[in-house]
Amino acid sequence: MTHERPDGSLVEVDVKIPPNARRMVLLDNGLGMAHEYWDWVCEALPADMGYVRFNRPGYGLSTPSKQYGLDRHFELVQELRETYVGDLPLVLAGHSLGGYLIAAYASLHPDAVKGVTAVVMIDATEVVSLRYSRRTEVDRWSRRSMVMEQVYSGTGLSVFRPALNVNKQYRPEINRSYLAFLAQPSTWATAGREYRDAMTYPELAELDCPLTVITAENNVGDNAIHHGVQARLPLISARSRHHFVDGSDHESLLSVPEHAREVAELIAGEPPSERTDPEQSRPGKGRQAEESAAEREKELT
């Protein structure tokens, strides 16, 4: 379905509010990802929890916008909350770039945490590390990849070699929908714009509500660095925990049913009441990962 905004633009949304709903979760997608990516997570939510998932402007059926940035995104999230969530308690959850965006909304938008019971960042982008990567080979590879995906989608080649959901682990109808999403050149044009914008986003400093950070065990690149970067995210809240999903990678956290169920349990579960030591989540690796990440940041600088 589509949600019409005050300016007449449309936002593609998928909303479920059970008759016995006692709480809701608002789900924010990663870079270049469609709201269908949350399908397994949504299916695993408890019966009393509804959800709102959506495509940001320029993705799917959502009207492209000439104005991007955090303020515009905050306005959209607030609008969706007021329209579909009402006074129900709300969990804010996001994957990858969506993890940063939803936490930024909760920490920077006025009165955003009112009615919010928890924030869940799922293998979220850490913008300081992203800026450190600028003009490195990682950055050049990322930019080239998005340009090439735009070319592949424009020529129809992406149908034969999709960039994401390669193993097609969703239900058939979701796989078809997601393949069509990846085959749209606008998907990759929007992803490139968001990637460039993210380089300018501010570091998250403080979050006045419970926070759960979920990290994939495996990462493309150096796992120790990735784990160390992720270990900094829980520090923005005095009530936080850091959870690793064994055997998962960045994409499979949502696309593999087993991992998605674990994510759903953390979204719907009791939020942390104090900050737990991240090293307890990954025994013996936390401090080593943080040191490796710090060394890598110096190299990138």
pLDDT along the chain (301 residues), means of 10: 95 97 98 96 98 97 89 96 96 98 96 97 94 84 88 82 82 92 94 94 95 92 84 96 95 96 98 78 43 41 35
What confidence score (pLDDT) does residue 277 get?
67
Burial class (CB in 10 A: 0-12, 13-18, 19+), 4: exposed
pTM assigned to the model? 0.90
pLDDT of residue 45: 98
The side-by-side arrangement of strands in the sheet containing 90-95 is 2-4, 10-16, 49-54, 23-28, 90-95, 116-122, 211-216, 240-245
pLDDT at 152: 82
- The reported pLDDT for the residue numbered 41 is 98
- Predicted local confidence at residue 77, as pLDDT: 97
pLDDT for res 4: 97
Tokens (6 digits) for 65: 């916008």
